[in-house]
A and B are shown apart, each in its own frame.
Chain A
Amino acid sequence: MTAYQIIFYLISAFVLATAVLAVTANRIFRSAIWLLFSLVGVAALYFWMQVEFVAAVQIIVYVGGVVVLIIFSIFLTQQSGSQLPKPPLKRSLFALLAVLFGFAFTYNIIARYRFAPVAAAKPFVVPVSAIGEQMLDTKQHGFVLPFEVVSMLLLAAMIGCIVIAMRPVPKEKANQKRTAPVGAFGDNLTDLPRPAAEPDPVSMMEEKTT
């Protein structure tokens, strides 16, 4: 067993172990951290497979983007450190059985299938320049069209996120802004005592950041 193989099995064990922890940890923040580790493990796997560019993207997007986003959303919606409700035993059992069955079934199929051995053992090298050229190639094997489509998708997602998460301006507030009534002595009447609103973590957060 070469070091190469040993590294693969180590990475695999790491990825699987952290993934299991990510889906079973009973504190949500820990769960997110385990997910982070698992994704880093996957990135390591990409390094092992010598696709450094994909590994880099994996770290930048997943670890640097998605997981950070998830952690932010956890901050916005949860009291951190609180325990997640435990799933009912019946459901976990049922899910476990279903998952095991599915895994057995799928792996059975994979094992039965004899993947054709690669005839020309051409070394698998992925130069970044090749990726870039093919990505923006407009000829037969170019990926410029999916590239553009994905760019549209990202734009749409960005706008969609803003629209969905945008805090609608309360109606009376908007009206007051338009016709701010001014008293006889120039004092602003909008500062009337308002009924105390229920504390809202999201709005508190927004007020803090602005």
Chain B
Amino acid sequence: MNEIPLTHILFLSTALFFIGMYGLFTRRNLITMLMAIELMLNSVNINFVAFNKYLYPDKLNGVFFTLFIIAVAAAEAAVAIAIFINLYRNHRSIDVEETEQMRY
């Protein structure tokens, strides 16, 4: 059944994580940055489920972590978008380069 080695799944999740990170570094729009973060969270979730399935098949802890992360990520996305909308009202822009007030 387990013909796919664990490392391959980890390769997938690592690649997904760094793709998300690339997006985080290069995108200037806050919403797209949020998307990148969602990708990174998903890669983490994949990791949890994979480890659970391959290493501790008699337990469910990884699944629970995944569920909780999904819940937290949903909340985080909602709050983030509320902030973006508020920001947009005040600045007419959600470009990350223009939100530079929090500097020295």
Contact = CB atoms under 8 A, between A and B. Distances in A.
Say if the two chains contact directly (CB < 8 Å): yes
Interface of A: 2, 4-5, 8, 12, 15-16, 19-20, 22-24, 28, 31-32, 35, 38-39, 42, 45-46, 49-51, 53-54, 57-58, 61-62, 65-66, 69-70, 72-74, 76-78, 84-85, 87, 91-92, 94-96, 98-100, 102-103, 106-107, 110-111, 115-116, 118, 120-124, 126, 130-131, 134-135, 143, 146, 150, 153-154, 157-158, 160-162, 164-165, 167, 200, 202
Contact of A99 (B22, B55, B66): B22
Given A22-B23, A61-B70, A161 B79 contact: yes
A111 B7 contact: yes
Task: Give the 8 A-B residue pairs with the shortest CB-CB distance, closest first.
Answer: A23-B23, A95-B25, A157-B75, A124-B57, A161-B82, A165-B82, A164-B82, A87-B26
Contacts of A164: 79, 82-83, 85-86
Contacts of A130: 60
A54 B67 contact: yes
A82 to B, nearest CB: 10
Classify the interface of chain B: helix, strand, loop or mixed.
helix
Interface string B23-44: 1011111011011101100100
Interface of B: 1-4, 6-12, 14-23, 25-29, 31-32, 34-36, 38-39, 42, 45-46, 49-50, 52-55, 57-58, 60, 63-64, 66-68, 70-79, 81-86, 88-89, 94-95
B19 A91 contact: no
A49 B50 contact: yes
Contacts of B19: 16, 19-20, 23, 99
Contacts of B63: 51, 53-54, 126, 131
A5 to B, nearest CB: 6
Given A77-B31, A103-B15, A91 B26 contact: yes
B29 A110 contact: no
Contacts of B21: 95, 99, 102
A54 B12 contact: no
B14 A126 contact: no
